[in-house]
Amino acid sequence: MTTSEQTASDIQAWFAGRLPQEWTADTPQITVDREEITVRVTVAGAPLGEDADEAAVSEAAAGRISAWREETRETRMQIAREAQHRFERKVSWGAKVGDHTALFAHIAVPTMTRLRQPQRQVLDTLVEAGVARSRSHALAWCVKLVGQHSDEWLRDLQGAMEQVRTVREKGPAA
């Protein structure tokens, strides 16, 4: 099987077998696209009293994520090198403590699109209003906003696409 034919489930399975057991008490979230594999690991939270306020919880989570990042750096980089060689994609890491998530060194990939005047005017309005620094930044902002409000629909669509890939792989017997 060539790298381009490897499915997200193949990549997820590889990481499930490769990650240290202590990192997989909760199932890591692994997101795959054409350029990047992002692995998010759930880390145990810092012990705080039940009366801790949101600011204290947030700071404790940031501290735990920072500590985990430093403690696991060497192992994460070794796994990333292996995966990058095997799957020909960059590997990025993240950690989650409770509701708090941090991503480490994830990549930004340039994309190009052609827009007609009404769409350009939307971007220009965001720039003129100070919401975005440039058309490029405005477009990224729009994509992020759409992603936040259509997660379920996008998950359903991605699931359907995975089913199509599975059916294609089975194909008719030659």
**pLDDT of the residue at 117:** 94
Kindly state whether residues 22 and 102 are assigned to the same domain: yes
Express each pLDDT in 67-92 by its tens digit: 999 999 999 999 999 999 999 999 99
**pLDDT of the residue at 55:** 86
State in Å, rounded, how far the first CA of the chain is from the last one.
18
Kindly state whether residues 101 and 125 are assigned to the same domain: no
Number of domains in the chain: 2
How large is the average pLDDT for residues 12-24?
93
Kindly state whether residues 60 and 14 are assigned to the same domain: yes
Higher-scoring residue by pLDDT: 41, 157: 41
How large is the average pLDDT for residues 45-53?
73
**pLDDT of the residue at 148:** 81
**pLDDT of the residue at 4:** 47
pTM of the model: 0.70
Name the domain boundary from 73, 108, 143: 108
Kindly state whether residues 103 and 17 are assigned to the same domain: yes
**pLDDT of the residue at 30:** 94
Residue 102 predicted with pLDDT over 90: yes
Gap between the Cα atoms of 38 and 93, Å rounded: 6
Kindly state whether residues 36 and 100 are assigned to the same domain: yes
Gap between the Cα atoms of 103 and 76, Å rounded: 13
Gap between the Cα atoms of 62 and 60, Å rounded: 5
Name the domain boundary from 66, 82, 108: 108
The pair of structure tokens assigned to 92 is 């990025």
Domain that holds residue 68: 1-108
